[in-house]
Amino acid sequence: MGSFRAVVIEKGEGGQRAALATFDEADLMEGDVTVRVTHSTLNYKDGLALTGQAPVVRRFPMIPGIDFAGIVETSDHPDWKPGDAVVLNGWGLGETHLGSYAEKARVKGEWLVPLPASLTPHQAMAIGTAGYTAMLSVLALERHGLAPGAGPAVVTGAAGGVGSVAVALLARAGWHVLAVTGREQEAEYLRGLGAAEILPRDELARPPKPLAKERWAAGIDAVGSTTLANVLSMTRYGGAVAACGLAAGMDLPTSVAPFILRGIALYGIDSVMAPPALRREAWTRLARDLDPAALAAMTTTIGLDRVFEAAPEILAGRVRGRTVVEIG
């Protein structure tokens, strides 16, 4: 057994501390597959874990990082053999199970998804958990029966990770996309991803009315709180909204009015414990439907040593699109 490079969060009397360290392979947690991690990403949750701003980390020491692309090194699981290219999102990595900001990870075989043949590991992590969550949201809207002919689609937190992928996916599918952003300077970027209209964040930050003028048939919300309440109040009769984030807060100051007077639906999106079949469907669709040029336009790449400075940036809503963390 050897050792490898990892970001390690320790908890001491003065609080938690995250640093690059050498980690002993013998200290990896239980699992039947060991993976050489080549790429991970920076998600909002990774920002919370690295800064300790919310109690995301449930065991110490912890290796943060909630997703990875990598190559199987050893496997006792019937589905995987050495050399297989794999992707993992969630399942408690970086929270309860040692995560992906490391050259090695040991995980359960059933947590892994094959890397789609048309994606490089870098592209898979440019998508990452944020992009896979955006696709889970699109799938929920489709399952509701919604298609571009139903009317426009709104995306909140549009210049962030989930939002950028959601805008690109919906636009490529033919939706008229309204991108809600607090960053005026990202309007051109969002138009480049396919947004038809840009809405200033302030418009959806006002105290929500139970019902307001109907503006869209579908929504993907990465923000929560007052923003989501306003999105619901402006959703057309029979429409649906996928709630996947809480960048503005956990609360939801809404009423039953949009549900009982307009028959709309609110779908909750969870990427962490999503069942394997749904994950495979989402990754297959991402490989097929996401424009590689749009993906490249939303992606920044950093090294493992840069995650510490990037963490507060993503929590402050200052990161554009997606950040890949190159590891091996």
For ligand NDP, the binding residues (CB under 6 A) are: 43-45, 129-130, 133, 157-163, 181-183, 201, 222-223, 227, 244-248, 269-272, 314, 317, 319
Whole-number minimum distance, CB 311 to ligand NDP, in Å?
Answer: 11
Residue 92 falls in which region: left (phi positive, over 0), alpha (psi -120 to 50) or beta: left
Helices 121-143 and 161-172, axial angle in degrees (round to 10): 70
Residue with tokens 């489709």: 142
The residue among 43 and 235 lying less far from ligand NDP, judged by its C-beta, is: 43
The residue among 151 and 317 lying less far from ligand NDP, judged by its C-beta, is: 317
The residue among 45 and 215 lying less far from ligand NDP, judged by its C-beta, is: 45
User: In this structure, are residues 186 and 320 in contact, taking their beta carbons and an 8 Å threshold?
Assistant: yes
Whole-number minimum distance, CB 254 to ligand NDP, in Å?
Answer: 16
The residue among 3 and 51 lying less far from ligand NDP, judged by its C-beta, is: 51
Whole-number minimum distance, CB 273 to ligand NDP, in Å?
Answer: 9
The residue among 34 and 227 lying less far from ligand NDP, judged by its C-beta, is: 227
Whole-number minimum distance, CB 57 to ligand NDP, in Å?
Answer: 15
The residue among 28 and 234 lying less far from ligand NDP, judged by its C-beta, is: 234
User: In this structure, are residues 83 and 72 in contact, taking their beta carbons and an 8 Å threshold?
Assistant: yes
The residue among 244 and 325 lying less far from ligand NDP, judged by its C-beta, is: 244
Residue with tokens 């959806």: 204
User: In this structure, are residues 201 and 181 in contact, taking their beta carbons and an 8 Å threshold?
Assistant: yes
User: In this structure, are residues 276 and 156 in contact, taking their beta carbons and an 8 Å threshold?
Assistant: no
Whole-number minimum distance, CB 150 to ligand NDP, in Å?
Answer: 23
The β-bridge relationship of strands 177-181 and 3-12 is: unpaired
Whole-number minimum distance, CB 43 to ligand NDP, in Å?
Answer: 4
Q: How many CA atoms lie within 13 A of 258 on its CB side?
A: 29
Q: For residues 82-105, b (16+ Cβ closer than 10 Å) or e, as one string? A: eebbbbbbbbbbbbebbbbbbbbb
- Which residue is nearest to ligand NDP, using beta carbons? 160
User: In this structure, are residues 243 and 272 in contact, taking their beta carbons and an 8 Å threshold?
Assistant: no
Q: How many helices (H) and strands (E) does the chain have?
A: 9, 15
Whole-number minimum distance, CB 99 to ligand NDP, in Å?
Answer: 14
